Structure 1
Amino acid sequence: MAPTSLSKQSPIVIVGAGAFGLSSALYLAQAGYTNVTVFDKQPYDKNAYSTADGADAASADFNKVMRMSYGDEIDYQRLAWDAIQIWDVWNKQLSASAAQDLPAGLKPSDKLWDNCGFLRMSTDGGLSAFEHSTLRNITREGLRSTQFVIGDEDDEKRAPFYFREGEWEKKKDPFHRQKKGESLAGVFDTTAGYVDASKACAWVMHLCRQSGVQFVLGEKDGQVSSFIKSPTGKKTVGIKTVAGKEHRSEFLILAAGPWTPYLFPAVSSLMETTVGSVAYFQLPPKNKAPHLWERFSPENFPVFAYGGWTKGLGIGGFPRTADGIVKIGYRGVKYTNYEDVEEKTTGTKHRISVPKTKYWPEPSEPAITRQAVEAIKSVVREALPELAELGIAGCRNCWYTDTLDTDFVVDRVPGDDGMMICSGGSGHGFKFLPVLGREVVKIVETPTERSAIAKRWRWRTKASGPRNGLEEGESGPRNWKKQEMARPEDWKFDMRAKL
């Protein structure tokens, strides 16, 4: 049952129209809440979450990994499995939609997710402890048949009956390691693939609008400048926007991704804004390089983690997009950017990590670190020489929030019945877009009766044991201001790339 102060007609404000905010809004509307409004600084109604049209947020992207491989964290594995079922449904619903009924940025021929598979490839000839625990838990759930361990006699025997002709050979060794006499070991997950994040957000916003959710977007009307407190100062009762307008709420969900600590510094002891680095490789026009378009197509090339999921340089990548872009990401080091932040409600000043994006808090050039570029280049040079010949065509910094233990934070602010934090994606949250809001509604309505996964998302402290770098602070080696930024000339490969 819902808290006594919250009815189905109560005004609910959600700050943030990314994955966490959209999913929360959708499920609240589907649960019968009729007065849900989402605020966001970015004009997603105009740019349809497209990075090419100016969208700049973690939830706006070509592609993100959809996986259920979580080692011994079976609660996330189960939640990811639930999400896959809904991704499938959404693909079917989109394809069955009439073009004129869809918003800008979507058409019936689009796929919100592509089940191209996920190769977690080892470079040392063996499987990590993470892979072994993942296989144990997937077997426990009766899904072992969805996993193919490279070199496993039984898996190799059944592969020809599962994959299209020639597909297994291409996807288990996309880096041609066998031809080079190198070890070949890893796990191929057939349940996995990638989601088109920008299109997925546009789709869920569409579903939200159909369910009665209201959106207030834009740098003045949609941007929160401060929170409104009750006369006692103990309860959040609304927001004030940059436009100067006040919007009252009986319940507020702060789901602002990497901007969450900026807007609400009290949460900075639980989560820290960090950035991962992305490089793009542009294939030549299809008629000039049909072999590359074929090689890197989702039908022939999987999502991959090079060196495994918990080892190596933290390099992962994707098949090409419809525009011929191959994206490779680096999360070996997650950088921080410390600035002075003033808490508008109290005037208190904090020194915390904040994003450097096009939108907030000040415009930033899209340069990634030289360390990230060199790490990406080293793997491309070794494993994907075709891309090395092309050189890096562009780059992007993708700002996230990392929690102290990589679990999300979905809980009421202690001592404030009017505000919930719904953030801390820690680089693995987007895949849960179809189901996250389901858990949010349960927590809103029955805060003391939590599922196993929701128990992991409670408000917690550093005393719980930080494991994700939060204890480093500004003096740590990840500080953005200590890094050397890559220049366009650093994007090029030397002649050794062709060896």
Structure 2
Amino acid sequence: MSQTWENARPKNMDLTHLSKQSPIIIVGAGAFGLSSALYLALAGYSNVTVFDKQPYDKNAYSTAEGADAASADFNKVMRMSYGDELDYQRFAWDAIQIWSLWNKQISSSLPENLPHGLKPSDKIWYNCGFLRMSTDGSLSPFEESTLRNITREGLRSTQFVIGNKDDEKRAPFYFRKGEWGNKRDPFHRQRQGKSLAGVFDSSAGYVDASKACTWVMHICRQYGVRFVLDEKEGQVCSFTKSPAGNKTVGIRTGSGREHRSEFLILAAGPWTPYLFPAISPLMETTVGSVVYFRLPPKEKAPGLWDRFSPENFPVFAYGGWTKGLGIGGFPRTADGIVKIGYRGVKYTNYEEVQDKVTGTKHRISVPKTKYWPEPSEPAITKQAVQAIKSVVREALPELAELGIAGCRNCWYTDSLDTNFVIDHVPGDEGMMVCSGGSGHGFKFLPVLGKEVVNIIEKPAEKSAIAKLWQWRTKASGPKNGLEEGEAGPRNWKKQEMATEKDWEFDQKAKL
């Protein structure tokens, strides 16, 4: 590892009740679990084990190979735009620096020194920019506050407001020839006589989530982290408690085996409330909807491959970040897949779950995936398909001509206020929760674990951003939908699922 990366290690890492050899268990090998494991290992803790029921070592977090988790994906947005939330903006900027460093480390590696699923020509971070396109001709208050905070940090030069004289004038000197024209109006609104307003963030882009997780697992292994990845041996079924019942001291897996811990980090993403129902007042498992469009072979449609390449096409939010239908998308992958997602409604799936420790039964939202006890078909809601189709018809008619090729439900955890939950469990010195990504957590994979370790070490001396993540209670009034409960309109069982017939476009565009 380079000296720059070594300098990212947390300093003064003597945890008051842990030795460097203390057994530490992390439940979940997604972004939060991997980052926590990495920084514990960097701090010298030599007995860190990560448990997960999915065989990520074999499928390299590839959804095509069966990986089914929020952290297993083609792409995740990497952005600094956070409105008035300056702490997240700064945290994202720090993450970008390490994403860039990791790209360099991968490209300079020998093929035999990289893990299954990665080769030196791969990138995990694509700085293609992020366009937040308004459709009403004006910037939202969110965009205005983002610009103020980015200017405050001396980074205004990375932002280009479409239609701003100064930004338009300097753009040709900042971008490659032709790039600005492609990325400022990828939906060809101007030629249609429509309003053109928005912000292009040149510091942003996307991360190849599956490859990123594969890379970080590789680094973790280099520093001695052990992984138990198996449907039985890696599946955590319950937690074991001390004789007094006030401290978590280990886990029991699907095979029936028990593993002792002196400290446990629960980072199970959308399975967190299922494993630990007591957390359900703070976070809720929800699902976002995704569709895929597959481009024809490159030799048959070179124009489309060029148009949707990361060099010419940005990550986008259509209608802006806080307005519109909640539609966003990405450039094509190396395999010619264009992904568009819908988060206008975050659906829930309520089931009865029994707390394995107390025996108490809860009605909480749980994931509905191939790893849920009752496997389900990958259908998304008709509402999501209709919203995506309406934007594609208007803004990307080339994709309407191709038609939807596939879909996916991506299960997350939403906290009650979209801030993560990363803190010790009250009254249990042997356990902390590290979850509640709320649809924006993956980008922090390179830096999150540093804060996790600092929270473990000095819980009374949290940083500004860590204070946002501390254990809290539900305030009065609506907070991110958690107040709706099972009776709310987002309940999965109340939705109409789309069929492949619903995927079809009534009037196909002409290429």
TM-score between both structures, scaled by the size of structure 2: 0.97
Q: Which runs of 5+ in 1 are unaligned?
A: none
How far, CA to CA, are the matches of 1:251 and 1:92 in structure 2?
34
SS class of match (1:52): helix
How far, CA to CA, are the matches of 2:374 and 2:420 in structure 1?
27
- 1:291 partnered with 2:278: no
Aligned equivalent of 2:232: 220
SS class of match (1:463): coil
How is 1:241-280 mapped onto 2 (pairs within 5 angstroms)? 241-280=253-292
- 1:434 partnered with 2:446: yes
1:82-136 alpha-carbon deviations (Å, 9 max, x no partner): 0000000000000011100111100010001100000000000000000000000
How far, CA to CA, are the matches of 2:101 and 2:127 in structure 1?
13
Q: Is the contact between residue 388 and residue 498 of structure 1 (CA under 8 Å) also seen in structure 2?
A: no
How far, CA to CA, are the matches of 2:408 and 2:104 in structure 1?
31
How far, CA to CA, are the matches of 1:460 and 1:19 in structure 2?
23
SS class of match (2:429): strand
How is 1:376-395 mapped onto 2 (pairs within 5 angstroms)? 376-395=388-407
- When residues 23 and 466 of structure 1 are mapped into structure 2, their CA distance, relative to the original with a 3 A threshold, is farther
SS class of match (2:192): coil
- 1:48 partnered with 2:44: no
Aligned equivalent of 1:350: 362
Q: Is the contact between residue 2 and residue 446 of structure 1 (CA under 8 Å) also seen in structure 2?
A: no
1:451-477 alpha-carbon deviations (Å, 9 max, x no partner): 000000000011365520000000000
SS class of match (1:462): coil
1:179-235 alpha-carbon deviations (Å, 9 max, x no partner): 000000000000000000000000000000000000001110000111000000010
Structure 1 residue identity aligned to 2:181: E
How far, CA to CA, are the matches of 2:377 and 2:509 in structure 1?
28
Q: Is the contact between residue 161 and residue 199 of structure 2 (CA under 8 Å) also seen in structure 1?
A: yes
The structural deviation recorded for 1:498 is 4.9
Q: Is the contact between residue 228 and residue 240 of structure 1 (CA under 8 Å) also seen in structure 2?
A: yes
Q: Which residue, out of 22, 25, 40, partners 1:28?
A: 40
Q: Is the contact between residue 24 and residue 261 of structure 2 (CA under 8 Å) also seen in structure 1?
A: yes
1:349-381 alpha-carbon deviations (Å, 9 max, x no partner): 110000001112421110000000000000000
Structure 2 residue identity aligned to 1:27: Y
Using the TM superposition, name which of 279-288 and 359-368 deviates more.
359-368
How far, CA to CA, are the matches of 1:451 and 1:141 in structure 2?
18
Q: Which residue, out of 103, 108, 111, partners 2:115?
A: 103
SS class of match (1:444): helix
Aligned equivalent of 1:470: 482
Moved over 6 A (4+): none
Q: Is the contact between residue 355 and residue 361 of structure 1 (CA under 8 Å) also seen in structure 2?
A: no
- When residues 141 and 465 of structure 1 are mapped into structure 2, their CA distance, relative to the original with a 3 A threshold, is farther
How is 1:9-20 mapped onto 2 (pairs within 5 angstroms)? 9-20=21-32
The structural deviation recorded for 1:288 is 0.6
How far, CA to CA, are the matches of 1:379 and 1:498 in structure 2?
16
TM-score between both structures, scaled by the size of structure 1: 0.99
Q: Is the contact between residue 10 and residue 250 of structure 1 (CA under 8 Å) also seen in structure 2?
A: yes
Q: Is the contact between residue 401 and residue 508 of structure 2 (CA under 8 Å) also seen in structure 1?
A: no
Aligned equivalent of 2:69: 57
Structure 1 residue identity aligned to 2:53: K
- 1:231 partnered with 2:243: yes
How far, CA to CA, are the matches of 1:496 and 1:237 in structure 2?
59
- 1:371 partnered with 2:383: yes
How far, CA to CA, are the matches of 1:160 and 1:311 in structure 2?
29
Matched residues, number: 499
How far, CA to CA, are the matches of 1:13 and 1:426 in structure 2?
23
1:301-353 alpha-carbon deviations (Å, 9 max, x no partner): 00000000000000000000000000000000000000000111221111000
How far, CA to CA, are the matches of 2:508 and 2:292 in structure 1?
20
Aligned equivalent of 1:69: 81
How far, CA to CA, are the matches of 1:320 and 1:267 in structure 2?
37
Aligned equivalent of 1:126: 138
Q: Is the contact between residue 381 and residue 498 of structure 1 (CA under 8 Å) also seen in structure 2?
A: no
How far, CA to CA, are the matches of 2:36 and 2:49 in structure 1?
11
C-alpha RMSD over aligned residues: 1.0
The structural deviation recorded for 1:7 is 1.2
The structural deviation recorded for 1:6 is 1.1
- 1:406 partnered with 2:384: no
Structure 2 residue identity aligned to 1:133: S
Aligned equivalent of 1:456: 468
Q: Which runs of 5+ in 2 are unaligned?
A: 1-12
Aligned equivalent of 1:446: 458
Structure 1 residue identity aligned to 2:180: W
How far, CA to CA, are the matches of 2:210 and 2:475 in structure 1?
37
Instruction: Tell me the percent identity.
Output: 83
1:386-437 alpha-carbon deviations (Å, 9 max, x no partner): 0000100000000000000000000000000000000000000000000000
